[in-house]
Amino acid sequence: MPRPVTEVYVSPAPGIRLWTERRGAPDAPPLLLVMGAGACGLGWPEPLVDALAERHHVIRYDHRDTGRSTAAYDEHPYRLADLARDLLAVLDGLGIGRAHAVGLSLGGMLLQMALADHPERFLSATLMGTCALSERPYVAPDGTVTAPGDLPSITPEVLELWSRPVEDRGLEAELDRRVEHWRVLGGSRLPFDAAYFRDLERDIVAHTGSYAASTAHARADDSGMLRTDALARNEVPTLVIAAPEEPVFPPPHPQHIAQVVGNARMVEIPGMGHALPPAVHGPLVEAVLQHTAGAAAGVTPA
pLDDT (tens digit, 9 = 90+) per residue, 130-150?
999 999 999 999 999 999 999
Q: What is the pLDDT of residue 301?
A: 55
Q: The domain 5-150+214-297: what is its CATH number?
A: 3.40.50.1820
Q: Given a cut of 60, is residue 209 above it in pLDDT?
A: yes
Q: Cα(162)–Cα(156) distance, rounded to whole angstroms?
A: 10
Distance CA 140, CA 252 (A): 9
Q: Give the Å distances, CA to CA, from 126 to 105, 156, 176, 271.
A: 11, 27, 31, 18
Percent share of the chain, pLDDT over 90 = 94
What pLDDT does 296 receive?
85
Residue of 31, 21, 19, 132 lying closest to 65 (CA atoms): 19
Task: Reply yes or no on whether the pLDDT at 3 is more than 80.
Answer: no
What is the per-residue pLDDT for 109?
98
* pLDDT confidence bin for 84, thresholds 50/70/90: very high
pLDDT at 300: 61
Q: Average pLDDT for residues 171-192, to the nearest whole number?
A: 96
Q: Are β-strands 122-128 and 99-104 bridged in parallel, bridged antiparallel, or unpaired? A: parallel
Q: What is the mean pLDDT of residues 175-194?
A: 96
pLDDT digits (tens, 9 = 90+) for 57-67: 999 999 999 99
What mean pLDDT, rounded, does the chain reach? 96
| Confidence at residue 285, expressed as pLDDT on a 0 to 100 scale | 98
Q: What is residue 283's predicted lDDT score, i.e. its pLDDT?
A: 98
From residue 104, alpha-carbon distances to 95, 169, 246 in Å are 23, 29, 12
pLDDT recorded at residue 298 = 85
Residue 2 pLDDT > 90: no
Q: For residue 244, is the peptide bond before it cis, meaning its omega torsion is within 30 degrees of 0?
A: no
- Does pLDDT of 54 surpass 80? yes
pLDDT at 1 over 70: no
298 or 265, which is more confident? 265
> pLDDT-derived band of residue 32, with 50, 70 and 90 as boundaries?
very high
Is 187's pLDDT higher than 60? yes
